[in-house]
Amino acid sequence: MKKIYVAGMAAAALLCSSLAHAEGVGVTAKAGTLGLGLQLTAGFSPVFNGRLGFNNYTYNYSTIKDNINYDVALGLKSGELLLDWHPFAGGFRVTGGAMYNKNALNLTATPAGTYSVGNNTYTAAQVGTLTGVVDFNKVAPYFGIGWGNAVEKGDRFSFAMDLGVMLQGSPKAVLSANGPVTSLPTFKDDLAREEANLNASLKEFKYYPVASVGIGYHF
């Protein structure tokens, strides 16, 4: 993982240093499943572009996992380093690259008299506040296809679309509580079981779907 991170930083530095020699430079504002984002595009040849960008958004909702009601804050935060191949020297592109992934779920359980934690039931007074964080691999490969070329000669403005998947790895949940039972070995075992159950229920997030649309401007 460290080697991937170092390679990504080196590639980012190469992209930035290449801007002065790029065949074109463009910027794209976009919105999608990664949140709201901004990308800088540099053209290296008629068929290859590099993209450097970031995304950010927070979405709040409620859900039930393993009979526990959770208020969830989905924090979307990522950086992206992408290479586009335009095989027909037009808008269609095939994309590969890496994401610096800080997407996370912040959980707060809503008391309903009792909690079913692991194999046992506890009162809200015993558990106190039950909170958790679910995150993923910090460096995630990305593969996809799309349409748009922010550095294509012609109109200043262009349409952009991406469809792909970010391989962010299995979810890693960490739960904690502040009630009087938290020091008991039985409760610690139950909390570990609850973390495992939560990870299993969120396993589909291992492959995060990426879809976005945007508007590009060519300088």
Measuring CA to CA, which residue among 127, 130, 120 is closest to residue 182? 127
Write the pLDDT tens digit of every residue in 154-178.
Answer: 788 999 999 999 999 999 999 999 9
| Contact in structure between 41 and 151 (CB atoms under 8 Å) | yes
Tell me the helix, strand and coil percentages in the chain, rounded to 5: 20, 55, 25
Sign of the torsion formed by the C-alpha atoms of 64, 141, 169 and 175: negative
Closest of 70, 215, 99 to residue 149, by C-alpha: 215
Q: What ranges do the domains of the chain cover?
A: 2-218
Residues 59-108 have pLDDT tens digits of 999 988 767 888 999 999 999 999 999 999 889 999 999 999 999 999 99
Closest CA to 172 of 199, 201, 151: 199
Q: From residue 64, give the alpha-carbon distance in Å to each of 68, 72, 112, 204.
A: 5, 10, 12, 16
pLDDT at 110: 73
6: pLDDT strictly greater than 60: no
Is 3.30.365.10 the CATH classification of the domain at 2-218? no
Least confident among 101-115, 166-180, 185-199 = 101-115
pLDDT of res. 13 = 53
